[in-house]
Structure 1
Amino acid sequence: MSQTPASNETPASLARVPCTIVTGFLGSGKTTLIRNAIENAGGRRLAVIVNEFGDVGIDGEILKGCGIEACPEENVVELANGCICCTVADDFVPALDAILSRPGIDHILIETSGLALPKPLVQAFQWPAIKGRVTVDGVVTVVDGAALADGRVAADEDALAKQRADDPSLDHDDPIEEVFEDQIACADLVVLTKADLLDEEGLARARATVDAALPRACAVVPVAEGRLDVGIFLGLGVGTESDIENRRTHHDDEEDHDHDEFESFVVTLPEIDDPAALAARVAAAAELGTVLRIKGFAAVRGKPMRLLVQGVGTRVGHHYDRPWRTDEARTGRLVVIGLAGLDRDAIAAALLPAPLAA
């Protein structure tokens, strides 16, 4: 027998909460896009689930530092225990339960790690415990326009090209290209970032690469510094979970997948004196082996603000993002992500400042 809803339940409160899945390769600009959405929410009350590869949640810390009423710190849930597409039942469902227990959430943003395949996550929205409460408003795939213009999907693939040349069997089993193509295959909208770094010819090359990978018609929007009107990518209303089986990917015939091709580790930094010198060390470390991404925080001596460092290949940016809290140690942390086999000692040595002469 059906039951009549209680008088305080409106049609809006009974509707499924829309979720936007933001996916894309390492360093493509996902966190910047989401932060812009938080800062320009247009009256929406947002929640964010952020998933990272490795044990240190740098992106979650960036988003928690926004201080925006539309998405308070308690509405940012971090999953740093592994790729969300591999741990849906263990990590994603409890995180979703926690968010849905909070009143007044209008929209949920889910930032996957750069190594995640979006399809298994979208498929989870068909589970009975989930499907009645949330829906996939759309999958937004973020791609690095500057890298694509140079013929790559990541900022530094020189080491990968050498590995591929040394082992012809990798020609048909490139984990980076497969991840990129699987993310594109699931897209309802493609956001092409770093457009400000491209001239017309570069933008055309990047767009051609995306178009070649798209299996169907899909809007591609170039942006600079993550500035995209939230009305463009929130409220797509696609219900992607209903169509996800039609979106073919490289891993459709696998029961599961792993990320043995990738690894990450953390380098702890003492206080530094010169942000520019640290950026130079990050750029130098990125050239050691198959490093894909270096990101994290540093404490600058005499400065009350925390320094945020973002490195994609040899492109390194840094800025002060928030004051250090009185209850946290002024200790820097950099997360290094790359292909398996990283020379951790050499990379750590490159990142750490040279010891003072006796």
Structure 2
Amino acid sequence: MAHGKIPATVVTGFLGAGKTTMIRHMLQNAGGRKIALIINEFGDLGVDGGILTGCGIETCSEEDVVELTNGCICCTVADDFIPTMTKLLARPDRPDHIVIETSGLALPQPLVAAFNWPEVKTKVTVDGVVTVIDAAAVAEGRFADDEEKVAAQRAADESIDHDNPLEELFEDQLRAADLVVLNKADLIDAPALEMVRSEVSSKIARTVRTIASENGRLPVDVLLGLASGTEDLIAERKSHHEMEHEAGTPHDHDHDEFESFVVQTGALADREGFEDALPELLARHDILRLKGFADVPGKPMRLVVQAVGKRIETYFDRPWKPGEARDTRFVVIGLHDGLDTETKHQIEAELSAAVSGASRQAAE
């Protein structure tokens, strides 16, 4: 700890990069550290916090996990983050380390800058910003502009103003990093991984350490103990919003480009059929991320469902608690323009059919 300050690590990265999985592994191997977590999610259903408090580890008890849902911490620093930090620091049993998992849609810059607020700066320092990247997605070009395609679109329609909020957000999260984790490296070969390293380096105007990981498994000492003091450096790591503002160009940072909604269905009748149907459903509606919990009849534990692109992960994380409603609920996140009311109803109907097994029966 610098001058008695509690170190804090900000974990950022796009939707589905593997932030929560990495933090869970960190907690399981904390080496006696008492870690407090602040979890910020985009959407009303707190999935990530539920996964961490349900992991059965002493270092992620409910009192050590603070959830901020349905809002972006980078946009609500004064209203949400500062009061949360103040309350956390007032506890008699102060933590050894604070880990903040931002929403996948968050800018790290305003959050890190908030550590310079007087009520926080004297007590906490930013140990480092860890940006988690889905290496397999980047290798597929998921967050990179296709210049030839854009040129063809512009030629066909001069009114097109090409703006990719995903690419911009990807770059902003990298620019703030003290450490970049190339997660899901096991899903691509060595040449593709090197291409991803090069892509990441091209987005950052300084040398930043990158490290590959599988399923977020990294030694705790690699992630914690960076001693970067990033709150004193963040002014030089400007986001697109800050640079556009300095140039006098209107550029509001909000989340009008993205939208989320919660779908509640019945019990999951056919786990295998659901996993088979989900990738096509996500692709058809250009859903960026789906996550939640499912009730599987006859199973005493709840099923965690995580989906991004074609990759689906399901696993049982903990038993249902006595008196707890065995609900099946998912958060669906996509681009705002692609999620009108009619599309939401359609997605809800298709998810319900996939959960009940009706979509598989229809296909057969």
Query: What TM-score results when the alignment is normalised by the length of structure 1?
Result: 0.90
Question: What residue in structure 2 maps to residue 134 of structure 1?
Answer: 124
Deviation at 1:291, TM superposition (A): 1.0
Structure having the higher helix fraction is 2
After superposition, the C-alpha distances for 1:219-262 in whole angstroms (9 at most, x for unaligned) are 00000011000101101000100011111221114485211000
Partner Cα separation in structure 1 for residue 142 and residue 268 of structure 2: 33
After superposition, the C-alpha distances for 1:321-353 in whole angstroms (9 at most, x for unaligned) are 110111211111010001013121121122113
2:313 aligns with one of 317, 320, 332: 317
Question: What residue in structure 2 maps to residue 7 of structure 1?
Answer: none
**Contact 2:274/2:357 (CA < 8 Å) preserved in 1?**
no
Q: Secondary structure at the match of 1:302?
A: coil
Partner Cα separation in structure 2 for residue 46 and residue 170 of structure 1: 48
**Amino acid in the other structure paired with 1:347:** I
Pick which of 90-99 and 261-270 moved more.
Answer: 90-99
2:16 aligns with one of 27, 36, 39: 27
- Equivalent residue runs for 1:144-223 within 5 Å: 144-153=134-143, 165=153, 172-223=162-213
After superposition, the C-alpha distances for 1:4-34 in whole angstroms (9 at most, x for unaligned) are xxxxxxxx79711110000000000000111
After superposition, the C-alpha distances for 1:21-65 in whole angstroms (9 at most, x for unaligned) are 000000000001110111000111001000001111101101111
Question: What residue in structure 2 maps to residue 333 of structure 1?
Answer: 329
Q: Secondary structure at the match of 2:60?
A: coil
Question: What residue in structure 1 maps to residue 248 of structure 2?
Answer: none
Structure 1 residues 95, 165: closer, same or farther in 2, change over 3 A? Answer: farther
Structure 1 residues 349, 176: closer, same or farther in 2, change over 3 A? Answer: same
Partner Cα separation in structure 2 for residue 62 and residue 315 of structure 1: 19
Partner Cα separation in structure 1 for residue 158 and residue 185 of structure 2: 34
**Contact 1:67/1:73 (CA < 8 Å) preserved in 2?**
no
Partner Cα separation in structure 1 for residue 218 and residue 224 of structure 2: 10
Q: Does residue 1:61 correspond to 2:50, yes or no?
A: yes
Partner Cα separation in structure 1 for residue 25 and residue 161 of structure 2: 38
Runs of at least 4 residues of structure 1 off by over 3 A? 164-172, 253-256, 354-357
Partner Cα separation in structure 2 for residue 66 and residue 165 of structure 1: 48
After superposition, the C-alpha distances for 1:151-177 in whole angstroms (9 at most, x for unaligned) are 2239xx99xx89x94877776521101
**Contact 2:86/2:119 (CA < 8 Å) preserved in 1?**
no
1:106 aligns with one of 74, 90, 96: 96
Question: What residue in structure 2 maps to residue 8 of structure 1?
Answer: none
**Contact 2:86/2:120 (CA < 8 Å) preserved in 1?**
no
After superposition, the C-alpha distances for 1:46-87 in whole angstroms (9 at most, x for unaligned) are 010000011111011011112211232210000003000000
Question: What residue in structure 2 maps to residue 96 of structure 1?
Answer: 85
Question: What residue in structure 1 maps to residue 4 of structure 2?
Answer: 15
Partner Cα separation in structure 1 for residue 212 and residue 159 of structure 2: 35
- Taking only the aligned residue pairs, the percentage that are identical comes to 54
- Equivalent residue runs for 1:108-123 within 5 Å: 108-123=98-113
Partner Cα separation in structure 2 for residue 209 and residue 136 of structure 1: 26
**Contact 1:305/1:323 (CA < 8 Å) preserved in 2?**
yes
**Contact 1:144/1:153 (CA < 8 Å) preserved in 2?**
no
Pick which of 228-237 and 97-106 moved more.
Answer: 97-106
**Contact 1:182/1:249 (CA < 8 Å) preserved in 2?**
yes
Structure 1 residues 314, 170: closer, same or farther in 2, change over 3 A? Answer: farther
In structure 1, stretches of 5+ residues that fail to align are: 1-11
RMSD across aligned positions (CA):
2.3
Q: Does residue 1:230 correspond to 2:226, yes or no?
A: no
Question: What residue in structure 2 maps to residue 282 of structure 1?
Answer: 278
**Contact 1:288/1:346 (CA < 8 Å) preserved in 2?**
no
Structure 1 residues 355, 320: closer, same or farther in 2, change over 3 A? Answer: closer
Pick which of 291-300 and 276-285 moved more.
Answer: 276-285
Partner Cα separation in structure 1 for residue 89 and residue 57 of structure 2: 20
Q: Does residue 1:260 correspond to 2:260, yes or no?
A: no
**Contact 1:18/1:107 (CA < 8 Å) preserved in 2?**
yes
Partner Cα separation in structure 2 for residue 283 and residue 16 of structure 1: 46
**Amino acid in the other structure paired with 1:308:** V
Structure 1 residues 301, 21: closer, same or farther in 2, change over 3 A? Answer: same
Question: What residue in structure 2 maps to residue 51 of structure 1?
Answer: 40
Partner Cα separation in structure 2 for residue 134 and residue 295 of structure 1: 32
Aligned length: 341
**Amino acid in the other structure paired with 2:19:** K
Partner Cα separation in structure 2 for residue 217 and residue 331 of structure 1: 47
Structure 1 residues 172, 185: closer, same or farther in 2, change over 3 A? Answer: farther
**Amino acid in the other structure paired with 2:45:** V
**Contact 1:193/1:226 (CA < 8 Å) preserved in 2?**
yes
Q: Does residue 1:84 correspond to 2:73, yes or no?
A: yes
**Contact 1:264/1:337 (CA < 8 Å) preserved in 2?**
yes
